[in-house]
Structure 1
Amino acid sequence: MNKTLIMGSLLLLVLFSSCKNKQMGANNPNPILAYPVEAVAPQDVELKSVYPAVLKGQEDVDIKPRVDGFIDKVFVDEGAVVRKGQPLFKINSPTSVQAVQAAQSAYNTAKLDVDRIRPLAEKGIYSSVKLSTYENVLANAKGALNEAKAKLSWATVTSPVNGIVGTINFRQGSLVNNANVLTTVANTTNIIAYFSINEKDLLTLLKDMKGSTQAEKIKNMPRVKLLLSDGTEYEETGKIETISGVVDAVSGAVNFRASFPNKHGLLRSGSSGKVVIPQPISNVIVIPQEATFNQQDKVMVYKVLGDSVLQKSILVKATPDGKSYVVLDGLSAGEKIVSGSIATLKSGQKIKVKSLK
């Protein structure tokens, strides 16, 4: 056999093999692909529930005048730190001054009458009954005078608590009465965070807490954290103090109150934040969110059964990092799921295992 014939035979063999391979590829348009697979196992995690909150001082007192009149002086400025009893405003109250003058005049008259009648009564010229009547008038006049002086002292408006002065709503020369709020003094030694959670979350929260009564459960609740309006975490942890005993009929929410120490004065009354309640959970399955997909209102995974996959609905809750889910129902320890690259999968599809964790 010459060389030309041998070369021709080899060429035909190569072409035949190539055509056969192409034909085999055409007969298998969906080759079995490899996917990452992991066996789920229980672990301990800490979930966090976040709720918007309004911050108030432990005492937020509206300062109102107890007498009518014009503001003569403003002794403090907004944001000033004041002590209990410190003067805040001075009010020029003509009616209060007139009341003191009238009471003083009545007292002076009554005293003159008693001073005049007493010697005569001692000599028997007037009866002791008449003297007692004048003495009663004097006592009433003295009481009225003391009351008028006390009301006049209200012209100096003082702070009822230690705290920080808020916005001053009226300035020197303003006409005010007891319906006007001159300012607010907030005692911010501790800050109270007011927030609410829905009834379902409340039942879940209380169910996981130790204690037979609500008071015992509140006592055993973990310390809570506070996220400030800029997203940073406040340095001090707080404590839940109360849970409302009534569910709001409109919103279906329950009001909470948590207290945070404010020794550096960073927190201000009237500001906002978010209360973070940690929820430690033991012996639960955690899976990556990339292993799931949504189908209508359900969260699904691909469960590995032998060499194929099957869609499975699960109940989940997101972890604080936003990258994983805690599986509340639908998976058991030791079961295998496809842990990623699930976009090309469908239920019943055969797969190869790329990696097994």
Structure 2
Amino acid sequence: MKTNHIFSFIIASVLLASCGKKNEQAQQAPGPMPFPVEKVVKQDATVYQEYTANLEGRQNVEIRPKVNGFIQKIYVDEGQQVRKGQILFKLETNTLNQDASAAKAAVNAAQVEVDRLKPLVDRNIISPVQLETAKAKLAQAKSTYGSVAANIGYGTITSPVDGFIGSLPYKEGALVSMSDDKPLTTVSDTRVMRAYFSLNEKQMIDFAKTFKGESLAAKLKNVPAVSLLLADNSEYDVKGKIETVNGQADPETGTTQFRAEFANPQAVLRSGGTGIVRIPVEVKSTILVPQNAVLDMQGKQQIYVVGSDNKVKSRIIKTNGVSGLNFIVSEGLQEGETVVIEGASKMKDDMQIVPQPKQPTAETAQNASDKDSAKATVK
């Protein structure tokens, strides 16, 4: 009997310990966690179409010698600002000076011959043909001298435009010629910068459909001011304008080149640089979701939708560009649905959460108030 009592006591102890552990585990089991959510609504948005661009000055002039010779003097340095007509280089012209002296002597000799023959023709001693021949030789000698003198002038090289000096690949004493691959330097007028970018055939069709106009020139007039992203991802503080578009696509690449222009009063932009031209496009009544709410899963974009039982379900969506910090959703979501906007990486299907509606910021509340005031004014 005593053994039975002991055995019963052991079983009861085990059962009590087991129940205690279950209760403890139940108490420790976490309940549904709170996550920020947002109801999907349709709204107007601004989408930016972005294109990589190469930057050049409004004038980008290559400076090349018109005569062969040694660089005797370089009057400028790389990056220096110069004015139109300012001397840039001086080429050695000693050989040309000798040629000029010889050409000048030939002119003098031809002139003496003309002067000698003229009175003889006047007295009918010789034929007028001899005088005309002498005059022709004089004209030829003067032409030769003029050409040599002009070449001497070409030895002094001046800037054809206002701008900034580019690289100087040649040093003083270097022999340069008209056939060299590299120019002596480049002078860039960077007061207005040109951004060149290209659209492929599909992008060109979208562009033509987006902006109204019976011609490309008319469509360009309806394109709003564009912005420029710099290499450090900052936005250039001066807006630009698309000025021209090539009327014909490149037959090799199928792309069409555009040109936007930006004022450059602070010399922030430099020739040879790159940037990203952003064209704003207004989209009416579209669905936006925060970029933080979207997961990239093996090339597909996934978002979590909250059901009526507060359980989440993953859903594949398609987006069509960005607007600020939001994706523009083209497929996969309907207006009125609720999505998780933070912590999507912690989600899994059928997980129950405590939805925490996103609280409007002061700026959002003010914008809504302004819109309501505007509507009241219109009425």
TM-score range, shorter chain: 0.7 to 0.9
Of 327, 337, 341, which aligns to 2:329? 327
The 1:50–1:127 alpha-carbon spacing in structure 2 relative to 1, beyond 3 Å, is same
Listed as ranges, the matches of 1:1-357 within 5 Å are 38-180=38-180, 181-244=183-246, 245-247=248-250, 249=252, 253-303=255-305, 306-307=308-309, 311-322=314-325, 324-342=326-344, 343-346=346-349, 349=350, 354=355
Q: TM-score, normalised by structure 1?
A: 0.79
Residue 109 of structure 2 aligns to a residue whose secondary structure is helix
d(CA) in 1 for partners of 2:313, 2:169: 68
Q: Unaligned stretches of 5+ in structure 1?
A: 1-14
| Structure 2 contact 313–348 (Cα < 8 Å) conserved | no
d(CA) in 2 for partners of 1:336, 1:103: 92
In the TM superposition, what whole-angstrom CA distance separates every residue of 1:134-165 from its partner, at most 9, and x where no partner exists?
22222222222212211111111111211111
d(CA) in 1 for partners of 2:336, 2:304: 14
The 1:91–1:290 alpha-carbon spacing in structure 2 relative to 1, beyond 3 Å, is closer
Letter in 2 for 1:153: G
d(CA) in 2 for partners of 1:125, 1:350: 124
Residue 136 of structure 1 aligns to a residue whose secondary structure is helix
**What residue is the counterpart of 1:10 in the other structure?**
none
In the TM superposition, what whole-angstrom CA distance separates every residue of 1:85-143 from its partner, at most 9, and x where no partner exists?
22111111234223322321221111111101111111111222322222222222222
The 1:351–1:157 alpha-carbon spacing in structure 2 relative to 1, beyond 3 Å, is same
| Structure 1 contact 199–247 (Cα < 8 Å) conserved | no
Identity value in percent = 40
Letter in 2 for 1:354: P
d(CA) in 2 for partners of 1:229, 1:338: 34
CA RMSD in angstroms, aligned pairs only: 3.3
In the TM superposition, what whole-angstrom CA distance separates every residue of 1:319-343 from its partner, at most 9, and x where no partner exists?
3544x21112333433444555554
| Structure 1 contact 68–93 (Cα < 8 Å) conserved | no
Q: CA deviation at 1:316?
A: 1.0
d(CA) in 1 for partners of 2:210, 2:245: 16
Residue 316 of structure 1 aligns to a residue whose secondary structure is strand
| Structure 1 contact 67–96 (Cα < 8 Å) conserved | no
The 1:340–1:153 alpha-carbon spacing in structure 2 relative to 1, beyond 3 Å, is closer
| Structure 2 contact 226–240 (Cα < 8 Å) conserved | yes
Q: CA deviation at 1:297?
A: 3.4
d(CA) in 2 for partners of 1:44, 1:90: 62
Aligned length: 333
Q: TM-score, normalised by structure 2?
A: 0.75
The 1:336–1:320 alpha-carbon spacing in structure 2 relative to 1, beyond 3 Å, is closer
Q: Unaligned stretches of 5+ in structure 2?
A: 1-14, 359-379
d(CA) in 1 for partners of 2:231, 2:31: 53
Between 1:208-217 and 1:290-299, the stretch displaced more is 290-299
